[in-house]
Amino acid sequence: MDMTYHSAMDELSFDGRVAIVTGAGGGLGRLHALDLARRGARVVVNDVGSAVDGSGASAHAAEAVAEEINALGGEAIADVHSVADPADGAAIVDTALAAFGRLDVLVNNAGILRDAAFKNITPEMLDSVLDVHLRGAFNVTRPAWLHMLERGYGRIIMTSSGSGLFGNFGQANYGAAKMGLVGMTRVLAIEGGRKGILVNAIAPIALTRMTAPVMGEAGTPYAPELVTPLVTYLAHERCDRNGNIYSVGAGKVSRVFIGATAGIEHPELSAELIAKSIDAIDDVTTFTVR
């Protein structure tokens, strides 16, 4: 089967582009890597091959996806460095540069779950999730950023979550990490926009190995294949959006934005005045998108 992408629409080609997809040994990351390769990108398939909770490691997952892409006529290389380690993060970028000579796209997708009610979460459970999601994105993005600055071009996609944006029981560690990625996205969008580097975030809802225990049968409409089209667009040179957050799942894409209500303003603000005016402060009838 030829990996060349064909469509009745004006297809988004990635010919000549190089992409890194972290956590690409399965689930969403695998589908992102396959679609980018199908459209002409040369892809570094990164995955440490761990269990959902981050334990263990195996090269099989990354190698299997890279082999799948190559067998279909694309071009990919496996990488098993851990995003949680700063040196490994740099090594992932070095893998792309050594194999393909450039880097255009980075999809930060790697993740683990260590869910528990807040009373049961330990510092280790917080650190391990932050290490992969938040620090992991930093560890790969920073060396990629330096290369992209030199070339004056880049597309970076952060994988956030509704758990961070809206909250979800038992995921204080995961939600904190995912909302941290929103903050990183917003800052990098400001710093990179004038340098040709656009950074956006997605909050996917998809039935995968990681979410299956929580979603169960209710996750059936949320096929992971319906998330990848958004990632592909945000990774393309035609994308001109920067600093945005998109919710995506079950075929629906919507923008999630940060806004501020009109609120109140008083030169002698007091706790008592706030108590009296809290409904007006919270009123979302009028707001400004930030």
Q: Yes or no: say if 239 and 231 are a contact pair by the CB < 8 Å rule.
A: no
Nearest one of 163, 166, 208, 161 to 185, comparing CA atoms? 161
Q: How far apart are CA 159 and CA 28, in angstroms?
A: 10
User: Token digits for 85?
Assistant: 């380690």
Q: What value does the CA radius of gyration of the chain take, rounded to a whole number of Å?
A: 20
Query: Among all chains, which residue has been given the structure tokens 């792309």?
Result: 96
The separation between CA 3 and the C-alpha centre of its own chain, rounded to angstroms, equals 24
What angle is formed at CA 57 by the lines to CA 117 and CA 164, rounded to 5 degrees? 35
How large is the angle between the packed helices 86-100 and 123-151, nearest 10 degrees? Answer: 30
Give the single-character DSSP code of 225: G
Distances in whole angstroms, Cα of residue 211 to Cα of each of 16, 117, 207, 208, 246? 34, 17, 6, 5, 19
Instruction: Respond yes or no: is residue 174 known to be catalytic.
Output: yes
Give me the catalytic one of 5, 153, 174, 233. 174
Beta-bridge mates of residue 237 = none
Q: Yes or no: say if 287 and 259 are a contact pair by the CB < 8 Å rule.
A: yes
Looking at the annotation, which residues are catalytic? 174
